[in-house]
Amino acid sequence: MTDHDTFLTAAQSLLGPRGFTADADLVTPWLTDWRGRFTGRALGLASPANTAEVAAFVRLCGEHGVPIVPQGGNSGMSGGATPDDSGEAVVLSLRRMDAIRTFDVEAQQITCEAGVILQTLHKLAETQRLRFPLTLGGKGSATVGGLISTNAGGTQVLRHGTMRAQVLGIEAVIADGSVFDALTPLKKDNRGFDLKQMLIGSEGTLGIVTAATLRLVPEIGGRAVLWAGLPSLAVARQLLLHCQATAGDTLEGFEVMPAHCLASVLDHLPDARSPLADNHAWHALIELVGDVTSADALPDLAERVLSSALEKGLLDDATIAANEAQAEAFWLLRDSVAPAERAIGPAMQHDISVPVATMADFVTAAAPQVETRFPGTTAVAFGHLGDGNVHFHVLAPPHAERGEWEQTQGKAISAYVHDLVTQWGGSISAEHGIGQMKRDELGRLGDPVALAMMRSVKHALDPSGLLNPGKLVPLAPDGTNP
């Protein structure tokens, strides 16, 4: 038998027919990321049933020198869960591990396995009048393990933080097959380095998250969804500060988009209407959320927030959604920006962030710089103003050819945008992670001190480099991948 055959036989023996397959029909669907940008090859697909099986399988891979690509819902944005095309690695799916281990309603905590799907978690929390306060487009596929490994964001970060803020405890299998068990939630614990934090957002390169204890919050009692028309992004920033001061902790979302985005959406959605009668240079979508004790006060609060903002000249016009259907319609406009822009033609999309305080200045400066440097392009920025997280899209010149344009001018544009955001002290990956898509850009633009520290930590915890090789951690200057 070849080495591969020996490994495959041992893997099948260890995990059984449900736990391991090399059948191309079963493996292939998981070798391409959902946006179709990355495709790899693999020896097989492992689907262990529990943490002990994950640990045993990791040890087996270590013995045979087989690299492991952990995968949750395969809904990542940066190719972090797609193997390379060497065919030497195995994909380790956590989807079969979807048990709820404990659910402490009183403490508002749930301990679940890595394969639990976000939407399932939402529904389970709702049955106990609780809420898991993180959501995103891929909620029907994204798993708890993937959300943790990528430190996922979404639209509720302004109030509730990223996935990091939801994780109270973690269990992970590390490179030598040991189980790191820090599931017990301790609000105060100063027993050394916070290893849990190191695993969160490490994209499976330091360990394979197998379970987590997550915090829940009280269910939503009600919400007020506001739409405002604004003269500029700078005024939007002032309006955000005003909302924070007057709406306090009820402020859960603050999204902005320029006129161009709203027009694209209205073109794209035949039944959609603009919330306001007149045209405005910028639009803000603002959501206030209360629990059962505070929801009744929301309509009055929303009125006060808007009327005082109007007095201060922080908006030109505004409206409050009259009912849930209208609130949903407002959000549909926001959620349709990306598909609407894509429908126009090819575009390079950038998931970047700068300090919240400088986001308006950054967009105001960067958009014309890009358009001047690449004539015919249109730069539009929209997104989570409250988080400093800009979705910075650069639309191709008219008649540019899809596919070809992205690979030529598109690449130069992305490098230029990444240069700009780095000069502004920002991040080339606000929420989508690095994966394989941005690894080289991180190597090019990342702080050399931070990169050296990352390589040291990676090498220390995964000396053989078997955990998700080629992802996240840029190569060393000598070309080695620690």
Residue-wise DSSP of 264-317 = HHHHH-TT---SSSS--SEEEEEEEEE-TTTGGGHHHHHHHHHHHHHHTT--SE
Nearest distance, CB of residue 63 and its own copies, angstroms: 19
Q: Of the candidates 2, 127, 190, 407, which one interacts with its own copies according to CB under 8 A?
A: 190
Q: Of the candidates 459, 475, 476, 481, which one interacts with its own copies according to CB under 8 A?
A: 459
Does residue number 198 form part of the binding site for its own copies (CB under 8 A)? yes
Contact flags string 461-480 toward its own copies, x per CB under 8 A: x----------xx-------
List, in sequence order, every residue forming a beta bridge with 227; answer none if it has no partner: 285, 319
Quick check: helix, strand or coil at residue 147?
helix
Nearest distance, CB of residue 316 and its own copies, angstroms: 22
Q: Of the candidates 447, 464, 477, 480, which one interacts with its own copies according to CB under 8 A?
A: 447
Q: Of the candidates 66, 97, 354, 420, which one interacts with its own copies according to CB under 8 A?
A: 354
Q: Which stretch binds its own copies (CB under 8 A): 36-44, 178-186, 255-263, 411-419?
A: 178-186
Contact flags string 204-223 toward its own copies, x per CB under 8 A: --x-----------x-----
Nearest distance, CB of residue 332 and its own copies, angstroms: 23
Which residue bears the tokens 């979807």?
98
Does residue number 28 form part of the binding site for its own copies (CB under 8 A)? no
Distance CA 412, CA 257 (A): 25
Q: Which of residues 389-418 bind its own copies (CB under 8 A)?
A: 389
Does residue number 349 form part of the binding site for its own copies (CB under 8 A)? no
Q: At 128, which amino acid appears?
A: Q
Q: Which stretch binds its own copies (CB under 8 A): 114-122, 180-188, 324-332, 361-369?
A: 180-188
List, in sequence order, every residue forming a beta bridge with 174; answer none if it has no partner: 207
Q: Of the candidates 99, 100, 245, 365, which one interacts with its own copies according to CB under 8 A?
A: 245
Q: Which of residues 74-113 bind its own copies (CB under 8 A)?
A: 104, 106-107, 109
Distance CA 264, CA 335 (A): 12
Distance CA 355, CA 152 (A): 18
Cα distance from N-terminal residue to C-terminal residue, the chain: 30
Q: Of the candidates 442, 467, 468, 470, which one interacts with its own copies according to CB under 8 A?
A: 442
Does residue number 308 form part of the binding site for its own copies (CB under 8 A)? no
Q: Which stretch binds its own copies (CB under 8 A): 41-49, 86-94, 187-195, 268-276?
A: 187-195
Specify the pairing of strand 90-93 against strand 44-46: parallel
Q: Which stretch binds its own copies (CB under 8 A): 136-144, 271-279, 352-360, 412-420?
A: 352-360
Does residue number 136 form part of the binding site for its own copies (CB under 8 A)? no
Residue 317: partners with Cβ closer than 8 Å, 6 or more residues away: 228, 229, 276, 277, 278, 280
Residue-wise DSSP of 363-376 = HHHHHHHHHHHSTT
By beta-carbon proximity to its own copies, the closer residue of 412 and 450 is 450
Q: What strands, in cross-sheet order, belong to the sheet with 282-290?
A: 317-320, 222-230, 282-290, 251-258, 378-384, 389-395, 347-353
By beta-carbon proximity to its own copies, the closer residue of 189 and 303 is 189
Judge contact between 120 and 73, C-beta under 8 A.
no
Distance CA 450, CA 440 (A): 15
Nearest distance, CB of residue 261 and its own copies, angstroms: 20
By beta-carbon proximity to its own copies, the closer residue of 93 and 353 is 353
Q: Classify residue 313 as exposed, middle or buried by CB count within 10 Å of its CB (0-12, 13-18, 19+).
A: exposed
Q: Of the candidates 67, 83, 146, 426, which one interacts with its own copies according to CB under 8 A?
A: 426
By beta-carbon proximity to its own copies, the closer residue of 368 and 463 is 463
Nearest distance, CB of residue 245 and its own copies, angstroms: 8
Distance CA 193, CA 171 (A): 16
- Closest C-alpha to 256, from 380, 426, 120: 380
Q: Which of residues 145-164 bind its own copies (CB under 8 A)?
A: 150-151, 153, 157, 162, 164
Does residue number 189 form part of the binding site for its own copies (CB under 8 A)? yes
